[in-house]
Structure 1
């Protein structure tokens, strides 16, 4: 496993994890809904990831719904002491599989309680407040509810997900932001507009995260790298005898010591490939070329 990174290093309860985590979202059925196609493989992926040294898992109760949380508990409970389970709140799913805000203070509290119950925990070590665009609930009201849950001891650290630079700056004025989770990969560094809104890119907040010692957790890094082939990525990947997906993970690990990639997959073979990417060493010249 690769080097480590510390979440909330200046707090009373810092969390040190390996710099290559695992995102559970792809363990669900089609459209991030329902049970996995191969439940036994999903459980094996979780166990093998942790056995290989992965100490950071990303999940959410709206994956499935509750599917990934139940899989995590079944595969890994009682949890290893070094394992950090990060979940997200702020959204929910409708029966038509659409994603909608679920971010009023009472809804955020209900989500936290649900995550605690399904995961079998007394405290969630890290929770990302997932922003769902402009809406009737102001950011300060959402974050205020999260910090209240932190004071109650239900949450150890609070992070933000899907945030613009202005939103991160506003959040930092309100309280300690432990982590940021934004879309980021070699082929997807800027804000992405789509039918359901926008996903702010990691590039616009990375320097701010570095300045404040906040790990940036890239999501969808592989999903958006693969369809948008970059001849430079392909060339460097061939030179190292690895896949373009592996090269993308290596690029993230080299780009900044404050990046904590969480590539997800529903296939054990791909998990092993992703973990192997942590051993790829890129030269300064290769990184400059990839830029």
Structure 2
């Protein structure tokens, strides 16, 4: 069922053309689910959340995705508690551009002074002098995209940020950002179930295939979020068929499909369950055949 010698790449390089390239294992972990209901407040099973983070290091996962508006500040504080002092090869990627209101709604927080406040907050809660990778997250109601990106590159020049990325962008925004400076990564919604969906900034996909093609052409890793099937999505019977073939879960096949879909894909499946985390890790060892990929196309 599993191959120890996989044909798909085990690692991926971020900002490979820069003077500070980063090579990470090609399965990361997204921390968003380590919060309370509605991605707000403390986790209901705090000990399990901390153990999942410790297990990332034990399993060789050295790419963590977080944001100071998860919780708020919950995932950053959990990361620091579980893993500080950090392993030298750990890449902690955070996002700025959004904030939360007391009613748990999400709002843009993207003015240059807002972004600076968020960066300073991330540095403090993560106990870092420099954040290795920061995504500017486009949110519903955003305005002044170029001014926001200019602020990001300014903080990079100041040394607060090593590499700049973007999140939830469409092709036009991505290309505009690339004209302004080096874009290390893109974090967009992408998965087998959503890859051809196109909606606005409100939250679904921003032309996923177009974004993937731009990333591949420019050797920019694409970090897919919300890549797994959810209760709100129509299940694809083809995924179920392949899952049954290998005796694994549909979620595992979705992760394996992402890893096979493109060498520039860096999945970050998240979960608050240690059992599901371990299942997700094992998905990286599933070898899909070309016949499988053609069937899932």
TM-score of the superposed pair, with normalisation by structure 2? 0.94
Determine if contact 2:229/2:235 at 8 Å carries over to the other structure.
no
Q: Secondary structure at the match of 2:284?
A: helix
Q: 1: CA distance between counterparts of 2:166 and 2:275?
A: 31
Is 2:247 aligned against 1:241? yes
Q: 1: CA distance between counterparts of 2:232 and 2:267?
A: 16
Partner of 1:277: 283
Correspondence 1:1-291 to 2 at 5 A: 3-135=10-142, 137-191=143-197, 193=199, 196=202, 198-224=204-230, 227-291=233-297
Q: Secondary structure at the match of 1:211?
A: helix
Determine if contact 2:131/2:160 at 8 Å carries over to the other structure.
yes
Paired residues, what number? Answer: 290
Determine if contact 1:222/1:248 at 8 Å carries over to the other structure.
yes
Q: Secondary structure at the match of 1:265?
A: coil
Q: 1: CA distance between counterparts of 2:196 and 2:230?
A: 12
Q: 1: CA distance between counterparts of 2:89 and 2:80?
A: 15
Aligned residues: CA RMSD: 1.6
CA shift for structure 1 position 285: 1.0
CA shift for structure 1 position 139: 1.1
CA shift for structure 1 position 133: 3.7
CA shift for structure 1 position 192: 5.2
- Unaligned residue ranges in structure 1 (runs of 5+): none
Determine if contact 2:96/2:119 at 8 Å carries over to the other structure.
yes
Going from structure 1 to structure 2, the CA distance change for 1:192 and 1:33 (only over 3 Å counts) comes to farther
* Cα shift readout 1:3-40 (whole Å, capped 9, x = no counterpart): 00000001010110000000000000000000001000
CA shift for structure 1 position 134: 4.8
Determine if contact 1:202/1:216 at 8 Å carries over to the other structure.
no
TM-score of the superposed pair, with normalisation by structure 1? 0.96
Q: 2: CA distance between counterparts of 1:175 and 1:268?
A: 39
CA shift for structure 1 position 203: 1.7
CA shift for structure 1 position 227: 3.7
Q: Secondary structure at the match of 2:38?
A: helix
Going from structure 1 to structure 2, the CA distance change for 1:179 and 1:49 (only over 3 Å counts) comes to same
Determine if contact 1:191/1:199 at 8 Å carries over to the other structure.
yes
* Cα shift readout 1:209-257 (whole Å, capped 9, x = no counterpart): 0000100000000144884211110001100110000000000000000
Determine if contact 2:170/2:206 at 8 Å carries over to the other structure.
yes
Q: Secondary structure at the match of 1:79?
A: coil
Determine if contact 1:186/1:225 at 8 Å carries over to the other structure.
no
* Cα shift readout 1:113-144 (whole Å, capped 9, x = no counterpart): 00000000000000000001453x31110000
